[in-house]
Structure 1
């Protein structure tokens, strides 16, 4: 029998498991439209365990749409610091302003999708969880579950193509009585049981409906082509003057990290690569890019570009540093202090 033919039994098994196994996340323990919106935008491209302290900090500072709408962008970005993908914070800020001004307030998926930063996935999540609209949320977790349940071994060119391919099935099996819990149960199942590698099939609550669980290729389902890894090297400067450090403020017109600070690039300071060993070599990944960042101790040129500033160490908490660079500055400050003693 197909999954659609067994949808009631599937929904029931999933719901019973979720009622017992769901993690006690703060937006589930104390639900509201606002907390649903914030949690969904924070969870994009961020692991739940990583975002939890940021969610708590955010809710303490911005407990509702009105408070967030009235805040400055600088304050908003400062409280988002560490989560990355700062366009989400800017969109959330714009959304709060639009929501406060809206009359009537959005409820349906289509109305939410018209707001800044809200796409098909997030609008369906908000509409189903906060307003019980029977629409399916389809993300990577849901795609993985449905592909394995149906043993779909097709190869997809991208995540977006895979989402489109499984959206109709997801809509067919969503529980109309409690769509919000159904969608959260699907995401919870993908996050805790139906893992990308080594799924926990022996304790899966819907294993009896799964055509792929005996497949030797289960770990490879769904098959999604990945972009080729692009390796990049960016040489950075560690320049100190008294109790200040030289930092580069990324222009507001930049596509990413606009208005934030990072360690300067040697090329922007027109400095050659030093012959000495770097103070540190840091690495990070952004989507398919693997970035290597050697950080060299240098003397800053007398004439600095307009977007480079000396920032006192005591003032670092008052500016928005990109997440990795804040960590690195903290680590390297300790190293430099040890070397000077």
Structure 2
């Protein structure tokens, strides 16, 4: 009886050992093909087109070397993975990323984030050129109307139409202008949103110091109220270059040129914007500083000196010229 019990326990122990070994092999198999490190040795870009199935994507993953086999990936995904659908887009599969993590990546839609930045004061011709240089975008693009693009950083995806990216930039400008227009102050000199963008574009080009924008807007508002010429240098340059850098000094003939933009030869606002102003420049135009200043000139340190009278302004100009001479510039 004792011998029979010993044989029974021995058989049970053997079966238990077999089960443990089999379980260990199964765990290793699952780990190798599902939750463990994948075969990719370098970052891999995966494009999942609209309408792609999991099987289509699995074949592409095997082709790229990101999973060991299409069949294995699908088998484990159906048995152990989430049932959520995969999403279209561009993905980056990290080196040795597991099949489990790849499926989660595709289901959560964490696509590659591509960004394009439009700096404050970038004219539309340069916005057009920047979008045209993005090789992963598609389709042709017209030069956008000046003042319709809100500067900022925008995300886009591989294969996205350039027109779609531009539309987001223009929609952002429309929404921002609408929001700021509602909160405009009583001392703003502009009567329409179009005028606001035009004046804001001049403010944007006249100072690169953010805290000065309300003051510059205040000066130009005072000039418009009094019927004075704005005399903004950037409005001379715009008809010549469409907002691109002039690359030289302004000629006297250009100062005297009569056109729809040159505010040295006309009173009032120019025909339209001379660049794409940022949010802060628009806000400053709609809520300018309360000031009596009518003039400003560079201070030689990146900012400006403001004055109420022409005599004060002329003195500030002479001080600026002396500073430039002292620095060895003209």
User: Structures share a fold, TM > 0.5?
Assistant: no
Q: Decide which structure has the larger Cα Rg and report it.
A: 2
Give the alignment's TM-score, normalised by structure 1: 0.22
